[in-house]
Amino acid sequence: MNITPTTENRPRQKDNNDDKSNFVGFANLPSQIHRKITKRGFEFTVMVVGESGLGKATLINNLFLTDLYPERHIPTAQEKLRQSVKIDASTVEIEERGVKVRLTIVDTLGYGDNLNGTENYKSLSNYIDNQFERYLKDESGLNRRNIADNRIHCLLYFISSFTRGLKPLDIECMKALHHKVNIVPIIAKADALTTIELIRMKQTILQQIHDNHIEIYQIPDCDSDEDEELKEKNLELKKCIPFAIISSERTYEVGGKHIQGRMYPWGLVEVENNNYSDFLKLRSMLIIHMQDLQEVTHEVYYENYRSNKLQLKKFIDNDEKQKKLIQEKDIELRRMQDILAKMQEHLTEKQK
């Protein structure tokens, strides 16, 4: 087999190209969803979390066929020890066959590099809350029709394949965020594992998630009127969690086709080969269940935040009323004391 490396990444083609491999797949959404969003387009925000070196940026570029990080700075070991978590949001407009998507990727630079683990997920939690607060203020304003939705709809949590399971930091972070965002666990650089090792690692991670009462995103069942092919595909997606991913920036020419993959002395590992990579299944999950991810964010996590804020406001308002009432009673008491003192003084003078 003749394999020729190429230097360029696979570009995203224009709408008039019939090659499906050059499309993310937004145009292939279920028909009822497709009809709704073709008219107005939609916004989708993904946060990527994981230690440096797990291929987060590469996976995002592979998933959405774009280059969000053309000039990314890779920090040295000394810089990693000093730096705190830096949150960086990048937005790109994608259009496929009439479907417009405003995709925002929120990267968490420096996560896991700082010795203080608590600071790692506090920054993420604060950022998620800030987006809820921003949406709440916009929703309470006058112009409610044109609200920009920057809430985090999906959090891709990258797990190192070298640890064979979740580390304490992974567990702490997921427990701190699982009631605020849809968490999708990902095993990064899965080509470092054998088939048996990968199966065992998936089982270990799911058991750790269960034992620590962590709630990850649950892929919903298909509607009863959906076709059998989609139902079977949905079952396959459920079985894949956590998704085992291989990503690469290199493209190789094999038999006249351009294939993204990783080259080893024994052969080429393809990013999109379902035999050992869940890459295509992860992309399918994000596309098929994109609307559900948005709805869960709005109807569950945002509503929880909104409800808590309203309860807190009510408590503060009641507390302020109580304080005001106490102040008024204090003023009235002092006034009565002054009157009594004057009456006592008047009686004393009369007795003299």
CA angle 28, 31, 36 (to 5 degrees): 105
From residue 199, alpha-carbon distances to 188, 215, 338 in Å are 14, 21, 82
Classify residue 153 as exposed, middle or buried by CB count within 10 Å of its CB (0-12, 13-18, 19+): buried
Contact 54, 189 (CB under 8 A): yes
Query: For all residues of the chain together, what is the average pLDDT?
Result: 80
Provide, rounded to the nearest whole percent, the portion of the chain with pLDDT above 90. Answer: 29
- Range with lowest mean pLDDT among 19-28, 222-231, 251-260: 19-28
Strand partners, 244: 187
Q: Which pLDDT tens digit goes with each residue over 72-96?
A: 656 555 655 556 788 888 888 877 6
Task: Using the predicted structure, report yes or no on whether residue 8 has a pLDDT greater than 60.
Answer: no
Q: Which pLDDT tens digit goes with each residue over 143-182?
A: 667 788 899 999 999 999 988 899 999 999 999 999 999 9
Q: Phi/psi at 254 (nearest 5 deg)? A: -125, 115
Nearest to 62 by CA among 148, 149, 156: 156
Instruction: Look up residue 264 and give its amino acid.
Output: Y
In the chain the domains, ranked by start, together with CATH numbers, are: 32-245+277-314 (3.40.50.300)
Q: Which pLDDT tens digit goes with each residue over 111-149?
A: 877 666 667 788 899 999 999 999 998 887 766 677 888
| 3-state DSSP helix/strand/coil % of the chain, to nearest 5 | 50, 20, 35
Strand partners, 49: 157
Helix (H, G, I), strand (E, B) or coil at 107: strand
The pLDDT value recorded for residue 11 is: 40
